[in-house]
Structure 1
Amino acid sequence: MMENNYLLADRYRIKNLLGEGGMANVYLAHDEILDRDVAVKVLRLDLRNDQETQRRFQREAKATSELNHPNIVSILDVGEENGMQYIVMEYVKGEDLKKYIVKHFPIPYQRVVDMMEQILSAVAHAHAHGIIHRDLKPQNILVDEEGNVKITDFGIAVILSDNSITQTNSLLGSVHYLSPEQARGHMATKQSDIYSLGIILYEMLTGSVPFEGESAVSIAIKHFQNEMPSVRDYDPRVPQALENVILKATAKDPSQRYATVVDMATDLKTSLSPKRAGEPKWHPDHSKDLEETKVLPAIAAAAEAAHPQTADAATADSGSAPAAPEAEQAPAKKKKKKKPWWFWASIAGGALLVILIAVFFLTAKKDVKVPDLAGLTQEQAETTLKNADLTIGTVEKEYSSSVAKGDVIRSIPARGQVIKQGNTINLVVSRGKKGYKLGEYVGDAYATVAERLRAQKITVKREYANSADVAPGEIMRQSPKAGKTVIPGSDTVTLTVSRGKKQIVLRDLSNYTKKSVQDYADENGLNVTFHQGYSDTVTAGLVMSQDPAAGTSVTADTNIVVVLSQGAKPTKTTNITRTVQIQYQAPADDTSSSSASDATSSASSSTASTPVPNDIVIYIQDKSHSLNTVYRQFTITKDTTVELPFTVDSGQSAHYKITRDGTVIADETVNP
């Protein structure tokens, strides 16, 4: 048996075992060149020196490689490595038809017909290439996940052009689906496959095979003696036309079956048509017998001895005269002489002796070889022993790293030993691989536990998680739990290891909503405190600021403070009045010249009665005015008081500026 992850032919990576058979094991593998899954069938190592098994294995490869059909499993590669012969096949993900019937029964009639048409198409393709399957049964028909059907296992297929293969005097194929002629040991023909197809169709409609028995021999006899049970007796809703397909396919005489699989497919295609609703039941022509009954010579001799021929009556005298009148007739004939008692006794004794000899030879226990039971289930081994007229004795169980649980490891006596029919065979059945009971590893150091488990050939898978309570490097969880038993070489133990507190690089939360911030905090195990503030630039309800800042590295449980915007701060208008006194300033005297003095003297006398006015300009800044615009302009000839009104928003201030004859005499800020 190949181990998982083994690389076959430097190409096919073995993933796991799909199934074990009497001749070969089948593995799921990955083609590392074409990057696809494939099925690899490997001849069992204990059979690699068995010439007949090798021929059968090679025949399967030869037969299937010649076929290219969507409903036949494709052969992709054939080879040998280290004495292992292998076939690489298309991998069909699904189940065999036997399991499909059990799981989906009852199957709708149209679905049965559709699946059967795919099977018939595949068999017709094989027949067209001169290949007879000889072992058609639901176990050799795969159904993928989309419901497509594919035929496999051409291990006992016969290639009609291959004259080196002995085709007679051997019982090949599964007895529940075996044609009468094969059961008699005759050569399989295309009609033999058609018979098996009829049995498969019967099982798809009823959920069971038509003939059962205590042994393979009793079932085989029923195939050529018993009438095919009626499908309509099981399910009266089955159209007669559909039952007729089964009856014609399973006729005892091959000549009365369908001539070809194509003919059967054509008939099946219209079997659900309303036009055939009144079709009568098909009956075979009984005027022909399948074969003369063979009579064993010993039985014939015994029958002849039991019924000996008696002596003829006394003969008349050929030379006698004509009969005289009644009165003158000659004396009556002498009575036939009675045989002595010892004569009859000797005849009876001889007959009895012949019968006893016949019975002895018919009932005497024959020598048989112990069949190869290794790899079979206990049920399969029991059936195989019954077929060989042997019985199961004691069943012992022991652990095995190579034989699956429930399968036979070996028999006692061993395979190939010659014993008498009826003898007892003891079996040693696998318990599977010896298990390893897991301990409680939570809180232990991962490195120590992993090393211990790997020493037991247990696969260890490590996963990480953050924890505020468990120190980094320690185990937080384990699967399976403590106390469970795992199988070395097969099972995996998953250990979740602490990284300590989770390290988080804070995201920039600007413009997040309160809910988005809370979701982020919950996801990362952070605590969050919300505050509010006014902002003229950030929309109300969105984040204005955060502490710590974005990009800061923190651990889980860290508290972050987030300020959410309330929008712009609402304003309140205030009216202010400021009283300002403006002083008058007379113009200065000019005494630069005498003429000017005279003029001034004259003017002074005149001014003394009329003052020269000052030019006043006032600027204000508030909610409604700007310092760049003149608020008021006038002249004064004396000190003058003015009131300046201001309108300001809350938190704002006002301002005013006054010039006199172009000179700034006041420049003040006014607060509410």
Structure 2
Amino acid sequence: MKAGYTLNGRYRIVRALGEGGMANVYLAHDLILDRDVSVKLLRLDLRDDPNTIRRFQREALAATELVHDNIVQVYDVGEENGMQYLVMEYVEGTDLKAYIKHHFPIPYQEVIKIMEQILSAVSMAHKHNIIHRDLKPQNILIDEHQVAKITDFGIAVALSEHSLTQTNTVLGSVHYLSPEQARGGMATKQSDIYSLGIILYEMLTGTVPFQGETAVSIALKHFQSEIPSVRDIDPRIPQALENVVLRATSKQPRDRYADVASMAEDLKTSLSPTRAGEVRFTPSEDDNGETKVLPASAIAAISEIDHPEETAQADVKSAAKPEKDKKKGRKFHRHPRRRKFIIAGSVILLVLLGILLGVGLFQPRMTTVPKVTGRTETAARSELVAANLKVGEIHKVSSSTVKVHRVVRTEPRSGTQLRRKSMVDLWISTGPKRFRMADYQGESYASTAAKLEALGFTVHRESVHSTSVPAGKIIQQSVTAGKNVVPANTEVTFTVSTGSKTVTLADLTDKTKAQAQSYATDHNLNLAFKYAYSSDVAKGHVIRQSPGEGAVVHEGDNVTLTLSRGPESDSSSSVDEFSVDVKIPYDSGSTDDDDSSNNGSSENLIQIYLRDQDHSLSSVYKQMTITDDTQVTLPFTVASGKDGAYKVVRDGHVIASDNHVTKN
């Protein structure tokens, strides 16, 4: 698999970590949880082999049952395009085999520390009645903090799965194989303890106890030869520590530790001064003097390596004829042929019985997870019970493709081989995922629309001019903020500001004040007035404007008009001219949702009334909109000794007034 490929839309392959006989292992990155993981992918040439697939699935089943700090955790199991895969914890470090090679000799305390972690993990597996059957340094990872983690439960098996030996089948690595496995016997917890003893031997000596040209010759040594003394290689090793190796690797399972916890307890005190001078462990006499007989499968294997003297030792009983058989004359010569037929017939009969019994034991204990996706929870429960499975935890999950209250998926997935009465978890649909609508007023329309469309919304736009909201910003939304909706079924319309509308000013000279105010209202302009004497322009008419005719302004801009007071007279000298500054506060509360006249705007409409020589409180002096606190300057022209007045109205409410405005 190439780097960069994303498995199941989630695990992006980074690089290859290693290749095995059954699967290849890759470093990958979990895009959802943002962490590195190991992905074990069944080799393409084996994906159609049912036995390999079953073994691969058994590894997933065995590992997922075990949660321990010293066991590599399995996160996910799946299949894509016919490829079976496991997603596991990524351990950054090396395996114990390489660790021994690069760090030997390893201090005894460190050896015990690592072994205690391994023993703790195996003890956990044994408590779940799971035998690893392939314990070896290559299947033990050591991270940078010297934490050991056991991996590869590919040939692990639960004790309840079988009770017969797999004829002519030897599982596990031969250098760490127990004698009973070498004979083709059934692996037990004591078989794992034997392998643990060999691992301890290798950590203490840097090598395995038995070497040979073929796997068969090494297996025979496990069966026939005593484990070499670790003290012969390193005399500094305490006898108590060697005794742990000797007891764990005893030929007879009954002479080994009763369980892994006992081995751990013995190892823990092996360097204690109180155990100095301990005598060498010696296993009990085996078989009470009975003759050992290798099974036919072992004899056939031994014959392949052309060692006739070892073959002769395989069946001592057949070589030792009773003396009375030699005295039977010619009848003696007929016995060997007859015995061969009897032995051959017996072997065939036993094999057939073993096969029939094995099928009878294995087949009923395994079952297949049925496909219940899309079914109601009740129907799914019935099908699982019919398949001799139990319903585990019920999880609720949103789904846009599966109807409410129906099964989205199961864990383990459909088609997986499980032991009868195993638990299967169900994920039940709660319907499409709902989205809580946010308040997008004031947000950019472009980015908001893109985000919502990516979620599945249908987005519409309505454009309006606004003097208070910048162009491109959202003024209103059709779906209320806080409402939970299904994106795929929801249309939302945004009212978007295009900014202020531009106005080309008309010629307002010689217009009356009322005409000018009407023009300003129609074009949303704010007027400001000045006054001057003029003998050419009638009183109350516009003398001049600023900006002038033809100027382009925006809605809401100010236009200043100078109005005529008429010809200047002698009485003009008795007139006082002054100005007053008034601060107008902005009120955000005046734009409540129930005020339809505002259309979602955040503006205040301000109207100012003046009373002086040129104005009356019955007519608007100035009209404007504000979006913040604003200060205005009000000009007054009053006869000497007289006073003026003003009134400020905000959104129809008088907020300020003064009926006695005089020159200071």
Please report the TM-score for the alignment, with normalisation by the length of structure 1: 0.45
Larger Rg: 1
- Greater helix percent: which structure? 2
